[in-house]
Amino acid sequence: MTTTGANGLKDCVEGVVVRIDSHFPLVEYAGRKYRCTLRKKLKRGPRDTTHKICVGDRVLFLPPAHEQDICPIEEVLPRKTQLTRKAARHEGMSQALVANVDRLIVVVSAVAPELNPRLIDRVLVAGENGKLECVICVNKMDLVPRGKIEPLVAYYPAIGYKLIFTSALTGEGLDGFRDALKDKSSVIAGPSGVGKSTLLNAIQPGLKLTTREVSEVTGKGKHVTAFVQLIPLDFGGYVVDTPGIREFGLWDVTKSDLQDLFREMAPYIGQCKFHDCTHTHEPRCAVKAAVEEGKIPRLRHESYCAIFTSL
Ligand code: GDP
Ligand code: ZN
């Protein structure tokens, strides 16, 4: 299939960036992978982001006459979803980590490390901000009775998040975990030690997430670069791997955006006494009233306030 892009780019095809390492975006099209490079005009691109292209981006390019040739990317298509973080050392800029994946699976453990809903909420905010569908997975359920854990997270399904309980050790809930990944592209995030690698290996042996870093010697000296890639799943779908996402310091959220990233607050926005209410301390705040009435989980509002203060 050939596509004509918005700029009238004849004979270009649409591919997906499946991997980025220090040198080239690797773009898959019709089952083959092409080493590509960004055209200069695209490198300049929008000013508010340091990375003009990331894994998952859909791009238009002209397949080269010789397979070994490096082909220029003519256009990066608009993103449906994205995970971004604040760019290091570039004030006010963001860095896209992955584009166009469907789901964010937040993995935590029941114990070891202990369940921390505040942390779940921080990751959910990152997912909501990037328009990803978020699923919560509580692992290591073999270590504690379900009755002890369930009440701590029962409000998530009530506000619309899918919640699954798993044990990578006993196999409990693994079907649900597999279903959450099947035929979708997903990114897994959660603190280290909760069992993300073990879970993925349990559903597809050999699928060890590659924390591996690539050491490269270039003309400018030795660099250590982690790469990001889309890994295909045997049973359909893709999972994105990069340590940078898994341990999430994903911050590209403003104070004023935050209220929109707590979905259960939506019905109350605009109902407060002050039009610029922050829903943290103001009198006659509709959100706080909803918390008092039990319509918004108190813990979620506490997370909102904590994140608001941290921004
Ligand atoms: P990651 O850092 O999130 O990728 O965590 P790992 O997959 O490396 O797991 C951390 C530790 O938890 C390892 O010692 C695993 O064997 C253990 N672990 C993982 N899943 C489970 C589980 O469901 N139950 C128990 N009891 N231990 C688990
Ligand atoms: Zn308010």
Q: Which CATH number fits domain 82-241: 1.50.10.10, 3.40.50.170, 3.40.50.300, 3.40.190.10?
A: 3.40.50.300
Q: pTM here?
A: 0.88
What is the atom index within ligand 1 of the atom nearest the CA of 192? 2
Q: What is the pLDDT of residue 214?
A: 39
Q: Which numeric CATH code is attached to 2-76?
A: 2.40.50.140
For ligand 1, atom 12, the nearest C-alpha belongs to 195
Ligand 1 pocket test, pick from 123, 188, 198, 245 with the greatest ligand atom count within 8 Å of Cβ, gives 198
Tell me what the pLDDT averaged over the chain comes to. 86
Q: What is the pLDDT of residue 47?
A: 56
Instruction: Please tell me the CATH superfamily of domain 255-310, with its number.
Output: Probable gtpase engc; domain 3 (1.10.40.50)
| Alpha helices by DSSP H, the chain | 40-44, 117-129, 146-153, 155-158, 174-181, 196-203, 243-246, 255-258, 286-292, 298-310
Nearest ligand to the C-alpha atom of residue 171: 1
CB neighbour list of residue 296: distance below 8 Å, 6 or more residues apart:
264, 265, 268, 287, 290
Per-residue pLDDT tens for 163-190?
Answer: 999 999 999 999 999 999 999 999 998 8
Q: What is the pLDDT of residue 290?
A: 98
Q: What is the pLDDT of residue 8?
A: 54
Q: What is the pLDDT of residue 218?
A: 42
**Residues of the chain falling short of pLDDT 70:** 1-8, 22-23, 44-51, 208-227, 242-251
What is the atom index within ligand 1 of the atom nearest the CA of 209? 4
Q: Angle CA(96)–CA(101)–CA(103) in degrees, nearest 5? A: 115
Q: What is the pLDDT of residue 39?
A: 84
Give the residue extent of every domain in the chain.
2-76, 82-241, 255-310
